[in-house]
Amino acid sequence: METAQDTIQQNEAKAETSKTLFKGTGSQVLLNGLIEEGVTTIFGYPGGAIMPIYDALYDYADKLEHILVRHEQGGIHAAQGFARASGEVGVVFATSGPGATNLVTGLADAQIDSTPLVCITGQVFAHLLGTDAFQETDVINITTPVTKWNYQVTDAKEIQEVLAKAFYIAKSGRPGPVLIDITKNAQLQLEEFPEYVKCNHIRSYRPKPKVRIEYIEQAAELINSAKKPFVLFGQGVILGSAEEEFKAFINKTGIPAAWTIMGEGAIPTSHPLNVGMLGMHGNYGPNVLTNEADVIIAIGMRFDDRVTGRLDKYAKQARVVHLDIDPAEIDKNVKAEVGVWGDCKETLPLLTNLVNENKHEDWLAKFRQYNQEEIDQVITPELYPTGDEMTMGEVLRNINEICGGDAVIVTDVGQHQMVACRYAKFNNTRSNITSGGLGTMGFGLPAAIGAKYGAPDKTVIAIIGDGGFQMTPQELGTIMQFGAAVKILILNNRFLGMVRQWQQLFHDKRYSFVNITSPDFVALAKSYYIEASKVDERANLRQALETMINHEGSYLLEVMVGRENNVFPMVPQGMSVSEIRLK
């Protein structure tokens, strides 16, 4: 029988545990929350509406490293590079209005490439919302289509719970970017705050579908019956930290595996079952044999149009098993006979248990056969050119020889990106950082800066075209000030190469505005106090690359490559993957 006395004592005990522990401003409690979430590095740019947060940051220099970028787009791409290299959540600060709108490209990039980010934007005072106040934009509505979740805070009391939810949403399930817009009054508001509690459950959010064993069983049955099974893997393997589980699965089944550019590096390039790259500029065998496989096992990939080419001629003969954490991806582009919903870190071991040990030697030999054809016709001329002009491929070959596959390679977007993805060697996961889904020119340099903070012990090489470099060159200033030792390699063909290639192949060589001129990149780098040099002869290439890689600190190397080289093989738009062209 409970007495009134007991009740009073219980209530007192409750009050004791919920005792306020921190008296301060919304800005301070936000920074405390970031520390609780394990944040160490923030990329940002201050402004009027986020000043209280920056004011608080002044006292947190020992706990939070803030990198002042030169443009908010640079900030968010750096946060992406950081997240992709480290596996942690990338964090960005930006002010209201133009600061926040400058984040949109990076948000869209992170949304489509499933990169976990938490972006904090300042916002005008709550009572000014909707009055077209100075530097007011409707950030929540602008960013809704390009965020996994966003929320506007108008009261400091919301900050802790919203921040905890933001981190949980950003990194759980299929990761993605989250934005919190905080009005200035909430940043300044003085309150007593309870202890910060991390979030691990939201009623309406199911980050991981419950794994249903019957689907695993059906998938295993299908795989065991296959004569020509083929694994297509994407970034899901990396995002789920399931590299080992994935290796165990292919090693046991002996199934050849090909990667999307987002999945590259999940298994080493040298793995005997790694048969290469899928898609528009992927390898010959994987593309052609997609239309010969009898069972396709798609793991953590989403059948993007760059991978599938013409859908009505894609793998029609194959029975498809699709493992994905996001149920919306299953049956979106390609019908799966068995859809296995769940985190592949959980589903792969269950599947590995049920599949038979096997070797598909004859089938694998077919890939090798096609590969030999590609080596003879495309790869050898690209990696060991005999002409006077340097090729992008030979630059990559030299990098592989110098770094041995241990470097983190960050690319921009275009021909150099396809060449880098095709030819770069990777021994480690989280080493290939590229803008896949959105194809954002200007991604390379800032993302490489972020990647260096995310993987400080690795050599980070940013491979960038002459066009892409001119989209975000201001981030050289960030390197100048904070000293990220990024190796910047500009492959200059004096064209917007990928567009030029398309104009050559499909628009009768009508080169419409692809002839881009460049500044003196070496002088530009030197004006930012960054060491730099330029190579336009093969004889000096190797030495120059070694100098760049061995240089203490950041270095920019410009390599003049052939003007009108094309990236092949290629699945032309509107064609089937089996119609891939070698020339």
Segment near other proteins (CB under 8 A); pick from 18-26, 217-225, 324-332, 571-579: 324-332
Given a contact cutoff of 8 angstroms between Cβ atoms, the answer to whether 492 and 524 are in contact is no
Task: Identify the residue whose tokens are 């499909």.
Answer: 506
Establish if 512 lies at the interface with other proteins (CB under 8 A). no
Segment near other proteins (CB under 8 A); pick from 63-71, 205-213, 349-357, 453-461: 205-213
Establish if 184 lies at the interface with other proteins (CB under 8 A). yes
Establish if 302 lies at the interface with other proteins (CB under 8 A). no
Q: How far is the CB of 189 from other proteins (least distance, A)?
A: 10
Q: Which of 20, 205, 553, 582 binds other proteins (CB under 8 A)?
A: 205
Q: How many CA atoms lie within 13 A of 362 on its CB side?
A: 3
Amino acid, single-letter form, for residue 434: T
Establish if 191 lies at the interface with other proteins (CB under 8 A). no
Segment near other proteins (CB under 8 A); pick from 137-145, 359-367, 486-494, 554-562: 137-145
Establish if 204 lies at the interface with other proteins (CB under 8 A). yes
In whole angstroms, give the CA distance from residue 562 to residue 394. 11
Q: Which of 7, 14, 21, 145 binds other proteins (CB under 8 A)?
A: 145
Bond before 572 cis per omega within 30 degrees = no
Q: How far is the CB of 185 from other proteins (least distance, A)?
A: 6
Q: How far is the CB of 147 from other proteins (least distance, A)?
A: 9
Establish if 227 lies at the interface with other proteins (CB under 8 A). no
Establish if 197 lies at the interface with other proteins (CB under 8 A). no
Tokens for 497? 């190469």
Q: Check if 160 is active-site.
A: no
Establish if 506 lies at the interface with other proteins (CB under 8 A). no
Q: How far is the CB of 575 from other proteins (least distance, A)?
A: 24
Establish if 328 lies at the interface with other proteins (CB under 8 A). yes
Segment near other proteins (CB under 8 A); pick from 200-208, 379-387, 529-537, 554-562: 200-208
Task: Identify the residue whose tokens are 């009740």.
Answer: 7
Q: Check if 184 is active-site.
A: yes
Bond before 569 cis per omega within 30 degrees = yes
The DSSP bridge partners found for residue 531 are 555
Q: Which of 206, 509, 563, 581 binds other proteins (CB under 8 A)?
A: 206
The DSSP bridge partners found for residue 180 are 120, 151
Q: Which residues contact 540 (CB under 8 A, 6 or more apart)?
A: none
- Of the residues 441, 498, 548, 570, which is catalytic? 498
In whole angstroms, give the CA distance from residue 544 to residue 552. 14
Segment near other proteins (CB under 8 A); pick from 74-82, 182-190, 248-256, 261-269: 182-190
Establish if 241 lies at the interface with other proteins (CB under 8 A). no
Measure the CA dihedral 563/569/570/575, to 10°: 150
- Of the residues 28, 37, 43, 72, which is catalytic? 72
Q: Check if 471 is active-site.
A: no
Q: Which is nearer to other proteins, 127 or 507 (CB)?
A: 127
H helices of 385-496, in order, are 392-403, 415-423, 444-454, 466-469, 476-482
Q: Which residues contact 477 (CB under 8 A, 6 or more apart)?
A: 70, 528
Q: How far is the CB of 85 from other proteins (least distance, A)?
A: 26
Given a contact cutoff of 8 angstroms between Cβ atoms, the answer to whether 532 and 555 are in contact is yes
In whole angstroms, give the CA distance from residue 40 to residue 480. 21
In whole angstroms, give the CA distance from residue 514 to residue 517. 9
Q: How far is the CB of 341 from other proteins (least distance, A)?
A: 9
Establish if 148 lies at the interface with other proteins (CB under 8 A). yes
Establish if 203 lies at the interface with other proteins (CB under 8 A). yes
H helices of 58-117, in order, are 72-86, 98-101, 104-112
H helices of 226-297, in order, are 236-239, 243-253, 284-290
Given a contact cutoff of 8 angstroms between Cβ atoms, the answer to whether 341 and 352 are in contact is no
Q: How far is the CB of 101 from other proteins (least distance, A)?
A: 17
Given a contact cutoff of 8 angstroms between Cβ atoms, the answer to whether 416 and 392 are in contact is yes
Establish if 142 lies at the interface with other proteins (CB under 8 A). no
Q: How far is the CB of 394 from other proteins (least distance, A)?
A: 43
Q: Which is nearer to other proteins, 1 or 328 (CB)?
A: 328
Q: What SS3 class is residue 484?
A: coil
In whole angstroms, give the CA distance from residue 129 to residue 481. 36
Q: Which is nearer to other proteins, 212 or 538 (CB)?
A: 212
Q: Which residues contact 52 (CB under 8 A, 6 or more apart)?
A: 25, 26, 27, 184, 187, 188
In whole angstroms, give the CA distance from residue 21 to residue 176. 32
Q: Which of 88, 292, 294, 326 binds other proteins (CB under 8 A)?
A: 326
Q: What is the DSSP string of 135-154?
A: T---HHHHHGGG-SEEEEE-
Binding marks (x or -) toward other proteins, 82..121, rule CB under 8 A?
Answer: ----------------------------------------
Q: How far is the CB of 292 from other proteins (least distance, A)?
A: 27
- Of the residues 134, 195, 509, 546, which is catalytic? 134
Q: How many residues bind other proteins (CB under 8 A)?
A: 35
Q: Which of 11, 144, 317, 550 binds other proteins (CB under 8 A)?
A: 144
Tokens for 558? 């410009």
Strand-pair category, 295-299 with 274-277: unpaired
Binding marks (x or -) toward other proteins, 162..181, rule CB under 8 A?
Answer: -------x------------
In whole angstroms, give the CA distance from residue 235 to residue 430. 10
Amino acid, single-letter form, for residue 64: L
Tokens for 444? 């390379």
- Of the residues 148, 184, 247, 425, which is catalytic? 184
Establish if 583 lies at the interface with other proteins (CB under 8 A). no
Establish if 21 lies at the interface with other proteins (CB under 8 A). no
Segment near other proteins (CB under 8 A); pick from 17-25, 306-314, 325-333, 452-460: 325-333
Q: Which is nearer to other proteins, 201 or 510 (CB)?
A: 201
Please identify every residue annotated as catalytic: 72, 134-135, 184, 498
Residues found near other proteins in the complex (CB under 8 A): 125-131, 140-141, 144-145, 148-150, 152, 154-155, 158, 161, 169, 183-185, 201-206, 209, 326-328, 331-332
